[in-house]
A and B are shown apart, each in its own frame.
Chain A
């Protein structure tokens, strides 16, 4: 474990806590894409398949349970909790996210480190996570103004993978034979997808204005 990875995990944890806080306290999921949340459930479900078979550390298992539990409960809230579900704008959140999964599974079957069920599933979850934010960013373009919590959620979610990139660079230079091109490239693509959001988020913060992405 290194400081970059810890910062990444804490930023990721903060993003799901911000979203849970928003949904649980103000009972609103306005501006939040259910499609992205559903993709994240699949990302965690396919990435942590080995949660009971391979033990890395208490920290690792605990965080996996937290990410699994939070992503499932966010989807549950947005789908089945009456008050929250009412604030979900279904008309705007129309990204066909199931179509995102197909290329990811095909790519995972073609490009992976080992052709085993667990490894292909794990690689699929990496590719899927790289594009999971797309429905949320599309929704953001459509809903004119978004509230601070949703903006912070997206900012933290994008930032965590940025810390992971620093972690991979650090591990590359400190651990011999630590080379994982698949992880590095999909992590880089994932972070780059946030580039324009980061730009407009920074502008809104600098000019102290509401965050608005250009249509």
Chain B
């Protein structure tokens, strides 16, 4: 499953 894509940029 596509893991919860959190925003990795500021």
Residues of A participating in the B interface, judged by any CB pair closer than 8 Å = 5, 9, 12, 50, 54, 56, 60, 63-64, 67, 122, 164, 167, 183
In the bound assembly, the distance between CA atoms of A63 and B8 in angstroms comes to 12
Residue of A nearest to B7 (CB): A122
CB distance from A81 to the nearest CB of B (A): 27
Set of chain B residues within 8 Å of A56, measured between Cβ atoms: 6, 8
What DSSP secondary structure best describes chain B's contact surface?
A: loop
In the complex, how many residue pairs between chain A and chain B have their CB atoms under 8 Å apart? 18
In the bound assembly, the distance between CA atoms of A215 and B4 in angstroms comes to 48
Q: Which of A50, A54, A60 contacts B10 (CB 8 A)?
A: A60
B9 touches A50 (CB 8 A): no
In the bound assembly, the distance between CA atoms of A201 and B7 in angstroms comes to 33
Set of chain A residues within 8 Å of B9, measured between Cβ atoms: 5, 164, 167, 183
Set of chain B residues within 8 Å of A164, measured between Cβ atoms: 9
